């Protein structure tokens, strides 16, 4: 989306960024960071496990876990079995050395190595058991393993802070309304007909419904041809909107064998400095062809619309409806962007940096995947990364505000709603309702539905003023001219 960017529903919140189920990021040093006195202590009923969840800041928690050695003994024994497969001791085949000898020679190293994996697994067990909600990659800040006695570890992670939201009801927002013009429909028809048009030779360029074949020679500011800067047999479609305007104007009324000049300015940045370079060319016309549009027969119209229309009138109505639907969608997107932008602006705060980084990483990865899927040439990852930095921060803010707003207004996605949605989708997919509901809960579908409900709430509690797109553009132009 443009302007303020409607978020991907719960973008990368517990996916990719957190790498659930994988290793925890380690921090240097074994001393735990200082913490506030405000903490919540949780103790499992089992006497072997002691858990503390310390609230370090409004957006950061630290879990401290103490495990009895007997509790981790099964994992320790499994580690011995795995390491045994790779250990070779003189007098024994690889993987066949007695376990007692392995424990005597390598026991301490094997157990210390295993303790880190065990700590990682136990942390995620605690996350599930205590319904913790880390929003960025957790960091292990301390681990203390005493063979035969205990395993203690501490993990720090970010959480969504609790916010005191304000000014999210009664907002004044504009909704831009677009009106479809006949010339827009005609341009769409021309676009659809372009692949079916033919060409016939012509003596001169009469309008923009022509294409020309030219030899281009770049010249210096004095008009002297530059060596090595000539290109021949270049085909230029004068009806193409992307073609340089000077070419379209200066080619008008020219005949084959005649020439015209044109220039264009290339603008690019070196760092933050804008550089401009002017290129001047002489174009020698070698061939002129007139675009001949095909007749709008019933057969062609049906082919263009996949049997949705058969006559020119039906084609016009069909395309007008498509454009109207597109404008309606765009208008709604713009409204939501404006609305969410106001909510975020009124409740601005600094989001947890790790969470922002996670959202940013996911955005860039999505662009990389799309570039690969659509075979985008010259994909500039650095440029994409810079582009998404402010958008990642905005999306992180909105996700946190979204959750706080839903809690404040008691907006939830009930199981009954999931079942109703599953019933509808089950009819088209053939998948059982139970499986679909489970899928919704295992993926981010619930978060997407929650976001939809929150946005609906915001719209219902806002003052929405409809404005005509052309009037708004005219007003903007007048203000620009005044300034």
Integer Cα distance of 141 and 121 in angstroms: 15
Residue 359 is predicted with a pLDDT of: 96
Q: All domains of the chain, ordered by start, with CATH?
A: 25-158 (3.30.70.1050), 198-292 (3.10.50.40), 323-482 (1.10.3120.10)
Tokens of 251: 């080619």
Tens digits of residue pLDDT in 82-118: 999 999 898 898 989 999 999 999 999 999 999 999 9
112: three-class secondary structure by DSSP: helix
Work out the number of other CB atoms within 10 angstroms of the CB of residue 24.
23
Span 153-178, mean pLDDT?
Answer: 96
Tens digits of residue pLDDT in 26-69: 443 333 233 333 333 333 334 446 899 999 999 999 999 999 99
Mean pLDDT in the chain? Answer: 88
Tens digits of residue pLDDT in 444-481: 899 999 999 999 999 999 999 999 998 888 888 878 77
Residue 41 is predicted with a pLDDT of: 33
321: three-class secondary structure by DSSP: helix
Give start and end residues of each alpha helix (H) in 140-273. 182-193, 245-251
Question: Contact, 156 vs 353, CB < 8 A?
Answer: no
Percent of the chain with pLDDT over 90: 79
Q: Is 272's pLDDT higher than 90?
A: no
Report in angstroms the alpha-carbon separations of 195 from 83, 86, 292.
66, 65, 11
Q: Is 13's pLDDT higher than 60?
A: no
Q: How confident is the model at residue 1 (pLDDT cuts 50, 70, 90)?
A: very low
Residue 24 is predicted with a pLDDT of: 58
Contacts of 169 (CB under 8 A, 6+ apart): 461, 462
Tokens of 248: 């379209």
Task: Please give the residue that has the higher pLDDT: either 9 or 290.
Answer: 290
Residue 301 is predicted with a pLDDT of: 96
Q: What own/partner pairs with CB < 8 Å and gap ≥ 24 does 385-394 have?
A: 385/360, 388/360, 388/363, 388/364, 389/360, 391/5, 391/363, 392/356, 392/357, 392/359, 392/360, 392/363, 393/351, 393/356, 393/360, 394/4, 394/5, 394/344
Give start and end residues of each alpha helix (H) in 409-468. 415-429, 433-442, 445-460
Contacts of 343 (CB under 8 A, 6+ apart): 167, 168, 171, 398, 401, 405, 458
Q: Is 276's pLDDT higher than 90?
A: no
Q: Is 407's pLDDT higher than 90?
A: yes
Global pTM value: 0.74
């Amino acid at each position: 989306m443009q302007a303020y960017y409607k978020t991907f529903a719960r973008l990368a919140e517990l996916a990719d960024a957190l790498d659930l189920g994988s290793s925890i990021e380690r921090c240097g040093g074994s001393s735990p960071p200082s913490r506030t006195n405000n903490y919540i202590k949780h103790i499992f009923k089992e006497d072997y496990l002691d858990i503390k969840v310390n609230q370090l800041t409004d957006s950061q928690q630290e879990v401290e876990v103490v495990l009895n050695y007997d509790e981790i003994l099964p994992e320790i024994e499994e580690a011995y079995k795995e390491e045994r497969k790779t250990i070779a001791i003189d007098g024994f085949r690889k993987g066949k050395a007695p376990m007692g000898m392995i424990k005597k020679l390598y026991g301490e190293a094997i157990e210390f190595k295993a303790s880190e994996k065990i700590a990682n697994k136990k942390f995620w067990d605690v996350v599930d058991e205590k319904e913790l909600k880390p929003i960025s990659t957790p960091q292990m800040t301390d681990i203390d393993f005493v063979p035969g006695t205990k395993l203690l570890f501490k993990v720090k992670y970010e959480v969504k802070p609790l916010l005191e939201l304000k000014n999210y009801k009664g907002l004044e927002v504009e909704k831009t309304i677009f009106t479809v013009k006949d010339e827009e429909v005609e341009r769409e028809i021309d676009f659809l007909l372009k692949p079916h048009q033919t060409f016939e030779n012509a003596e001169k360029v009469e309008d923009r419904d022509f294409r020309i074949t030219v030899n281009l020679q770049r010249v210096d500011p004095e008009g002297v041809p530059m060596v090595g800067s000539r290109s021949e047999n270049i085909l230029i479609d004068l009806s193409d909107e992307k073609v340089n305007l000077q070419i379209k104007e200066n080619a008008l009324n020219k005949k084959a064998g005649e020439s015209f000049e044109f220039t264009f300015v290339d603008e690019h940045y070196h760092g933050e400095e804008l550089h401009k370079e002017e290129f001047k060319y002489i174009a020698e016309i070698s061939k002129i062809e007139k675009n001949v549009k095909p007749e709008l027969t019933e057969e062609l119209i049906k082919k263009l619309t996949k049997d949705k229309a058969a006559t020119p009138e039906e084609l016009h109505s069909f395309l007008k409806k498509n454009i109207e639907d597109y404008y309606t969608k765009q208008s709604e997107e713009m409204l939501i962007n404006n609305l969410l932008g106001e909510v975020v602006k009124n409740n601005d705060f600094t989001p947890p940096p790790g969470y922002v980084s996670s959202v940013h990483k996911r955005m860039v990865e999505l662009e990389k995947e799309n570039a690969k899927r659509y075979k985008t040439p010259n994909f500039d990852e650095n440029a994409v990364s810079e582009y998404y930095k402010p958008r990642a921060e905005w999306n992180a803010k909105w996700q946190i505000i979204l959750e706080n707003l839903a809690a404040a207004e008691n907006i939830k996605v009930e199981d009954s709603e999931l079942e109703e949605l599953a019933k509808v989708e089950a009819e088209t997919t053939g998948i059982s309702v139970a499986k679909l509901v489970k899928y919704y809960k295992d993926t981010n579908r619930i978060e997407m539905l929650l976001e939809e409900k929150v946005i609906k709430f915001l719209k219902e509690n806002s003052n929405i003023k409809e404005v005509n797109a052309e009037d708004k553009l005219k007003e903007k132009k007048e203000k620009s001219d005044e300034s």
